[in-house]
Amino acid sequence: MDNLRIDNLSWRFILVWNRNMVVYRKIWFVNFLVPLLEPIMYLAAFGIGLSALIHKVSYQGTPVSYVLYIAPALVAITIMYNAFFENTYASFVRMYYQKTFDAMMTTPLSLEDIIAGEIFWGATKSVIAAAIVLGVITCFGLVSFPSGLLVLPVSFLGGLAFGTVGMIFTGLTPTIDMYNLPIFLFITPMFLFSGTFFPTSTLPGWAQKLALALPLTHVVNLCRAFFLGKTSLGLAWSVLYITAMFILLFPVALIVMRKRLIS
Amino acid sequence: MSTHIPQIIRASHLGKKFGSLQAVDDLSFELTPGECLGLLGPNGAGKTSTIRMTYGFSPITSGKLEIFGLDINTQWRRIRAKIGVCQQENNLDPDLTVLQNLEVFARYFSIPGKEARDRAIQLLKFISLENRKDDKVTNLSGGMVRRLVLARALINSPDLLILDEPTTGLDPQARHQLWERLELLQKNGLSILLTTHYMDEAARLCDRLIIMDQGKILVEGKPAEIIHTHVGDHVVEIADPDEEVREFVTAHGFLHDLLDRRIIIYGNEADKLFEVIGDRFCRESCIKRLATLEDVFLRLTGRGLKE
């Protein structure tokens, strides 16, 4: 366990977060554009296109319109994509091509501060993007308030979990092209089978259990409940699942990155 | 008699192992306040490994390493707060402007915003880049980039500056620009540890040198002393030497290197016999010159390719 140095972790991770925020603000317009336009495209395609074929989907025994069904999933997917891509491609570029981490490690920042700062930043990007998507969907009248606002803390928690998974791949991937593999094996199946575009209850029994193991399923659960104003105590399990995932995998991310960068 | 000066760096029996490769082997040296110490050596000699240990980037395998009297293993954060490092690679932040590179870096040292800006502006003046402060760093020339890396290393007003091959790849103008600034810093009492492949750079900037190879120290001393001790003061180089020269040199026991098509003879001009070589054998394709650090370096570390 030589590579797990939790004692190196300090408040200074916020300085790494700050560096990324400075860069983000320079091109904020481009950064805002994707979460602004993407949900409109999805709502147009699925809402107008597919709604003609699928009228109602059953959610907790009540039929809801298809557009209302998928709208919260769009936020959940945004949360996953933003943190995961930030802590894979973007972190890899900073680590490998720009040697930003190397320069930081000549200052009082530890490697652990840097990794924590990167993951924290990934989660922040999830929150910003989720807030924009939430705003857009609200304009279409598809969100119940005030419960809808609860997707913001969910986006932070989900961002931490997906970012941590991304960071583990960053610690392990030999080249930037190899990210195709975790995307194909992990991200795409979640995008499709986490109760995003159809209820998991339509899947065969074994696949339902498998879907329950996917973190996105839980983020979708939470977002949908908050969007539709159907909060219940059962949601605590989803919160617990995502939190546990982050807490258990965060040390793994620290270990693989230390193994990769310190020799 | 033992004097008690607090050393900037005190390395004793320092070792670094990468798997089975002993990159640094039982290295002991000190750097006294205000001194510029140069680490010379061919590629793979262990210079960068040594330097990386001194700023706590690379954990030490064996021995003891103290900076400002603090143990690098446990006090690395306090140590790093008081050192400036120019790594071998130019790792300026391409996502930020020239000024932002300094400001954001200052934040890593917990220097507050206002002070960070003041120091950044001041340092940009020092490296003559104040009129480029809003430029992207990707638009700077190689020499400007190197100067900015130096400014960034000075943002925390360090007590020790660590430079890993500071002028590799620069044109002569850019090299001199950088040297002048380093000399100024030295004059102000900054302690410097540097590695270099350039003997003229080492001779010009360093008060004391360590020539190392395969992780070990070969020689240590002041540049002029090292030259004097190891190759004398003067050199005669003769291309395509005939039998007569070679016999003369061997017969009189001159320090020399016989290469494929060249003989290099080391000596002292005050030495009458050495003068004879110049008079008798020095025709065309012969050079008489002062001995340099490069002569010492090549004698000690060999002339074969190192990689």
A124 and A87 in contact (C-beta within 8 Å)?
Answer: no
Q: How many helices (H) does chain A have, and how many strands (E)? A: 12, 2
Of B304 and A165, the one with more pLDDT: A165
Q: What is the DSSP letter of B136?
A: B
User: Which candidate in B18, B51, B93 is best for mutational testing of the A interface (most A CBs within 10 A)?
Assistant: B93
d(CA A241, CA B199): 61
If pLDDT is split at 50, 70 and 90, which confidence band does B5 have? low
- CA A7 → CA A111, B76, B211, distances in Å? 11, 13, 38
CB A223 within 8 A of CB A76: yes
B 58-77 near A (Cβ less than 8 A): 58-59, 77
Yes or no: say if A121 and A203 are a contact pair by the CB < 8 Å rule. Answer: no
Judged against a pLDDT cut of 80, whether residue A47 lies above it is answered with no
Mind listing the domains of chain B with CATH numbers? Answer: 34-56+75-227 (3.40.50.300), 233-290 (3.30.70.3110)
Q: Give CA–CA dist B238/B277, Å, rounded.
A: 10
Chain mean pLDDT for chain A: 93
- pLDDT confidence of residue B1: 46
Structure token digits, residue B49: 């490994």
Return the pLDDT at B244.
82
Residue-wise pLDDT tens digits, B113-156:
999 999 999 999 999 999 999 999 999 999 999 999 999 999 99
pLDDT tens digits, one per residue of A8-46: 999 999 999 999 999 999 888 888 988 888 888 888 888
A100 min Cα distance to partner chain B (Å): 6
Half-sphere exposure at residue A225, Cβ-oriented, CA atoms within 13 angstroms: 18
Q: Does A102 touch chain B (CB under 8 A)?
A: yes
Chain A residues with CB-CB distance to B163 below 8 A: none
Q: Are the C-beta atoms of B109 and A108 separated by less than 8 Å?
A: yes
- Measure CB to CB from residue A107 to each of B89, B96, B109 and give the nearest one: B109
Better pLDDT: A116 or B240: A116
pLDDT greater than 70 at residue B187: yes
pLDDT of B44 above 90 = no
Instruction: Tell me if chain B has a CB within 8 Å of the CB of A103.
Output: yes
Nearest CA in chain A to B18: A263
List the one residue out of B65, B106, B104, B100 whose CA is nearest residue B84: B106
Q: For residue range B146-182, list pLDDT tens digits in order.
A: 999 999 999 999 999 999 999 988 888 889 989 999 9
Closest by CA to B64, choosing from B18, B28, B11, B25, is B11
Q: Is B77 within 8 Å of A108 when comparing Cβ atoms?
A: yes
Best of B48, B75, B83, B91 to substitute, by most chain A Cβ atoms within 10 angstroms, is B91
Q: B165: left (phi > 0), else alpha (psi -120 to 50), else beta? A: left
Q: Assign B194 to helix, strand or coil.
A: strand
What is the predicted pLDDT for the residue at B43?
Answer: 87
**CB B109 to CB A99 under 8 A?**
no
Measured distance CA(A246)–CA(A84) in Å, rounded = 13
ipTM of this complex: 0.88
Reported as half-sphere exposure (CB side, CA atoms, 13 A), residue A202 has a value of 11
Give the separation between CA A174 and CA A153, rounded to whole angstroms.
34
| pLDDT tens profile A195-204 | 898 888 888 9
B212: confidence class by pLDDT, cuts 50, 70, 90: very high
Q: Does B109 touch chain A (CB under 8 A)?
A: yes
Chain A CB contacts of B83 below 8 Å: 106
**Among B227, B249, B236, B241, residue whose Cα is nearest residue B288:** B236
**Closest residue of B to A114, CA-based?**
B108
For residue B100, give the chain A residue with the closest CA. Answer: A22
A105 close to B85: Cβ distance less than 8 angstroms:
no
For residue A156, the one-letter residue type is: F
What's at A65, amino acid-wise?
S
Distance between CA atoms of residues A257 and B213, nearest Å:
31
Partners of residue B36 on adjacent β-strands: B192
Give me the pLDDT at residue A238, please.
95
| Of B185 and B300, the one with more pLDDT | B185
User: Does residue A189 have a cis peptide bond before it, meaning omega lies within 30 degrees of 0?
Assistant: no
Write down the pLDDT at residue A48. 77
pLDDT of A215-258, one tens digit each? 999 999 999 999 999 988 889 999 999 999 999 999 999 999 99
